[in-house]
Amino acid sequence: MSTTHNEKSSTVQRYSAGARVNHWITAGSLVLLAISGLALFHPSLFFLTAFFGGGETTRMLHPWIGVVLFFSFLGLFFRFWRANLWNRTDNVWMSKLRDVLAGNEENMPEIGKYNAGQKLVFWFMSALILILITSGVVVWDEYFYQYTSIDQKRYAILVHSLAAIAAISVWIVHVYAAIWVKGTIRAMTRGSVTGGWAWRHHRKWLRELVAGKATGAGK
């Protein structure tokens, strides 16, 4: 646990520097993948290839950025999977989703490091990135052309496109939620949150942190 005090408030460490770097590499590679993938997806979006130096360069870089995303997210997965395991409190949280959207958090159960919504984002992204890397390898002809058939490539492209759309949608929800809940972005920029933020949004986690029992504390 790492808690510091000043005259106005207390701050609580939520993420280590390593976790934050890991997160921003994942986020950056996901954005680059989305832009390059959309550029290759439809002729009307081909102008986006200009960000990567043209169509050929975009086609070459896209799968390699995907590899970076996969291994970067793998790092996040091993850091945080335990904290994202589903429990009974998450069922209660989901049943009171209207209170969450209305900002009536006093009616919500005490939450650990992540609420049910954050856990769903984590597990959806875990599954989608696995689907993306698997289907991506099937259509990565430069290295794997001889190992798959034309029909397999066609199915893989369809699956890859649908998974990419889903991943972009989940990412938008994730970013919106981080902006909507004031004080959340600070956790991934400074590594800490205010004591008041932790008490309001993740009270169980704060109690466990103070007791030295928090799962993945500071990772």
List all residues 6 or more positions away from 26 whose beta carbon is below 8 Å from its beta carbon: 69, 72, 73, 75, 76
pLDDT band at 8 (very low <50, low <70, confident <90, very high): very low
CB atoms within 10 A of CB 85: 12
Cα torsion 83, 89, 92, 98: sign = negative
Could you tell me which residue, 69 or 8, shows the higher pLDDT? 69
Mean pLDDT of the chain, nearest integer: 90
pLDDT, average across residues 130-154? 95
pLDDT, average across residues 144-157? 94
Q: Would you say residue 4 has pLDDT above 50?
A: no
Segment 54-94, tens digit of pLDDT: 999 999 999 999 999 999 999 999 999 999 999 999 999 99
Segment 152-199, tens digit of pLDDT: 999 999 999 999 999 999 999 999 999 988 889 999 999 999 999 999
Q: Which amino acid is at 196?
A: G
CA distances from 111 to 26, 148, 166, 198, 207 (A): 25, 46, 27, 10, 10
Cα–Cα–Cα angle for 165, 82, 99, rounded to 5 degrees: 65
Catalytic residues: 174
pLDDT at 7: 34
pLDDT at 214: 63
